[in-house]
Structure 1
């Protein structure tokens, strides 16, 4: 009850600010649908799920012009579950919470909880499903952190189509004084080029394994998409080295209901090819194929085939349907999830509605 009252108070206060200042905007997404999962130890699982195509959220963002090309900005974003009405996670603004300064000539610096450069490259450049639906690239690409807390992020201005960003995230996990301040520390960067129909980017992320004296988990990702008008083509290739570099997004659950599991690789690659095809004035077909090549000796490879369709009922509302199937080798244990949930089996179908405001 206390958490609910605090949430309502924050929303009410933010709404008052939004009415008083045009620089503050309230935005959000409400996404829910029917999901059918098969092929896991629980058998067939049918449910109403939240955040299938895009995570359900409500957010507040604002800017203030400070003069001379300088401005202040902030974002506060909270996730929730449409199927139950509950808050997503324990943190009130667990999705994003940052403040910063932006210069038209020098770039932008923000501090707080933010998306990593690696994840932005995966979701915005590499994946035709934009990390959502049953075809989400998150099903097979490693679980490099989506967001990091205690982060300082620098984003450069755009120079003739080129831009870059660099992020540093302190561990701050409560163990610094007992073990090492490097525990959980992350460093990431990306650089990209956009010119007309071409969008290309390379990203890197490193996570410290200081607690286990295993060095760092290192993830590289190269991605590009090109819009041919009649079809938009996507391609991506990732290299993952070091302990915990290839963690599954499902947490390596006991997928097969057996003591034998695929295990965690410390040397793998992940490749994707895909496309989106406009159909009529409001429809879009999405498709992708993803392959995981485990080079660690476990040989826990996997392939995912995915197909989806989205239809825009308006600028803010769309309906969708998608299906994906994963073929796991040697008990690899990857599962078909969506934008918000990891799934329970090796195949899933979903159909739903998404509204943005």
Structure 2
């Protein structure tokens, strides 16, 4: 009841806000039906919410302070559309921050936020544009699909300067006597000119098992790809580069590379995974978007010299019924090889063999 009263109060504040505050309620509703060929040896048919985008509601706003300075804020919560349950049992589980934005100096925000890998590498992945979680690198090993937020963070984002933007983020661990435990640091830079854009970013998360709050199995599944490495790791380091090129209006080409290291994640030795992705977006009509891509993931356990490898092929198509509502279909196929015993498309439990395929039909509406 207290949660409902809080939500109702916030909504009333938005309705009654002065016009200069520009406060709005917004959100996403997303749902669909999945078919998975092999989940621990069995077929799976399910109704699942929040795949191409998390179902959420939020409040955001600005206040003009004069002289090119603006106060900004945002709070947002994600939830399961089918059960009504809050994600992570939090009212606000998404980006929640407050800060100042200057036209000349940039933006400084404090709160729960995305890191530089999400901001500067995610836009060059297929799942960062269409399709969402099922098209991510295996179990979103590099956070390019927004697998976790960074809590307790101070973030600076620059204005655009000659086509360049950059950002830096530091998240406090908030652990008495141990300043670096659970702390995170990220930085990135991007460049855009006409039809070309590119980005580079780095993220380090100390004590990732606790800092990311169970990220390796946060969706209720068992992570067979890197869960044991993450839980044992002293730190998780992610480096990524990405680029896009639009040769003509209906076609966008995307490419990205990421390297994720679980420091001391395997018997005191490192475990590393590299993702190589090529993809394309085609818009044959203004209301139709087709995406296709391939990701090669190569891992190495430095304690055992095991080399798991994964190939994933992705295809999706969206049809916009309006500016707010879209219908879509998704198909993904993953093949494990080398020392990888099972396949596992993000969000699902692993297969019983080295192959797994998923198809989905769904709807997404914005407000």
Task: Give the TM interval when normalised to the shorter protein.
Answer: 0.7 to 0.9
Whether the aligned pair in 2 keeps the contact of 1:125 and 1:199 (CA below 8 Å) is no
Between stretches 106-115 and 202-211, larger displacement belongs to 202-211
| TM-score, with structure 1 as normaliser | 0.85
- CA distance in structure 1 between the partners assigned to 2:183 and 2:133 by the alignment: 31
In the other structure, the counterpart of 2:327 is 319
| TM-score, with structure 2 as normaliser | 0.83
Change in 2 beyond 3 A, CA 1:237/1:244:
farther
Cα-Cα RMSD: 2.6
State the Cα deviation string for residues 296-343 of structure 1 (Å, max 9, x = none): 322111111011100111111110001101111233545223xxx455
Whether the aligned pair in 1 keeps the contact of 2:62 and 2:70 (CA below 8 Å) is yes
In the other structure, the counterpart of 1:186 is 184
Matches within 5 A, 1:245-324: 266-296=271-301, 297-324=305-332
In the other structure, the counterpart of 1:30 is 29
Secondary structure at the residue paired with 1:12? helix
Distance apart, 1:7 and its partner CA: 2.8
Matches within 5 A, 1:111-122: 111-122=110-121
Between stretches 120-129 and 219-228, larger displacement belongs to 120-129
In the other structure, the counterpart of 1:336 is 345
Unaligned runs of 5+ in 2: 211-230
Matches within 5 A, 1:86-105: 86-105=85-104
Whether the aligned pair in 2 keeps the contact of 1:126 and 1:225 (CA below 8 Å) is no
Change in 2 beyond 3 A, CA 1:134/1:115:
closer
Whether the aligned pair in 2 keeps the contact of 1:209 and 1:243 (CA below 8 Å) is no
Distance apart, 1:132 and its partner CA: 3.7
In the other structure, the counterpart of 1:47 is 46
Residues matched between the structures, number: 332
Q: Does 1:352 find its partner at 2:362?
A: yes
- CA distance in structure 2 between the partners assigned to 1:110 and 1:119 by the alignment: 16
State the Cα deviation string for residues 17-42 of structure 1 (Å, max 9, x = none): 3x755511211111111111222215
Distance apart, 1:124 and its partner CA: 1.8
In the other structure, the counterpart of 1:261 is none
Whether the aligned pair in 2 keeps the contact of 1:33 and 1:350 (CA below 8 Å) is yes
Whether the aligned pair in 1 keeps the contact of 2:116 and 2:202 (CA below 8 Å) is yes
- CA distance in structure 1 between the partners assigned to 2:348 and 2:62 by the alignment: 35
